[in-house]
Amino acid sequence: MERSCLPGVVAVALLAAAGNAAAQAAAPAPSKDKEAVTFREVERGLYLGAYAGPLFILNPPATSGPRPFSPGQMATVEVGLDIGNLFSIGLFLTGTASREGAAYIGSSGGTASGDFGMLIPGGAVRFNAVGLNDSQGTTRTFIYLRGGAGYAFYYPAALLGGVQDVLAFGGAGIEYYTRLRHFSIGLEATGSILVPSGALGFAVTPSLRYAF
């Protein structure tokens, strides 16, 4: 009885093995490897930037009295958009603090004197004039030109009340896009003029930018 069952068991095993081999032969072979996820080496688009550094005004605004040289500081926050690899546009808010002595009376007629500051909202444009590649062929360093304009609000009001100026500025800088992809660092030098008071100034500002 046991001997008569053995051929049947062997036959069933052989049929199962043949069916499995046929199924594997019919399965389609993969055409190519799965594509790896890649990232852009330099992120561009909507960005948030910050500038801060020394500010020097050669002849501060005044309607009376002397206009002595004024050292100080400035800080700027900018929100903007990269248009391709060459152009950027942005809106900024700048705050300044300038040192002055008692001889500076601004437009107060002598009722106030000393230090003053500005709050300047405005807009800026930027052009990346030169791009430099790193050792792997990625353009990470740019030499750029930047300019813009904004309206200056002065404080304290007792010192510069009634003075209405528009700030126009222009300059050049260098920016390096780090291997952290979203972050870049830079250094910018700009000259500025306040119109119509004719006050001239210049600033040197390190910068940090994050692209979303």
In this structure, what CATH number is given to the domain that contains residue 79?
2.40.160.20
pLDDT-flagged residues of the chain (< 50): 1
Is residue 9 a part of any domain in this protein? no
Is residue 6 a part of any domain in this protein? no
Is residue 4 a part of any domain in this protein? no
d(C-alpha 111, C-alpha 168), whole Å: 29
Give the tens place of pLDDT for each residue, 165-210: 999 999 999 999 998 989 999 999 999 999 999 999 999 999 999 9
Is residue 88 a part of any domain in this protein? yes
Q: Count of CB atoms within 10 A of residue 96's CB?
A: 22
- Count how many domains the chain has: 1
The pLDDT of residue 1 is 46
The pLDDT of residue 181 is 87
Is residue 174 a part of any domain in this protein? yes
Is residue 96 a part of any domain in this protein? yes
Residue 56: domain span:
46-211
Of 198, 184, 79, 94, whose CA–CA distance to 139 is shortest?
A: 184
Is residue 138 a part of any domain in this protein? yes
Is residue 131 a part of any domain in this protein? yes
In this structure, the strands spanning 70-83 and 183-195 are: unpaired
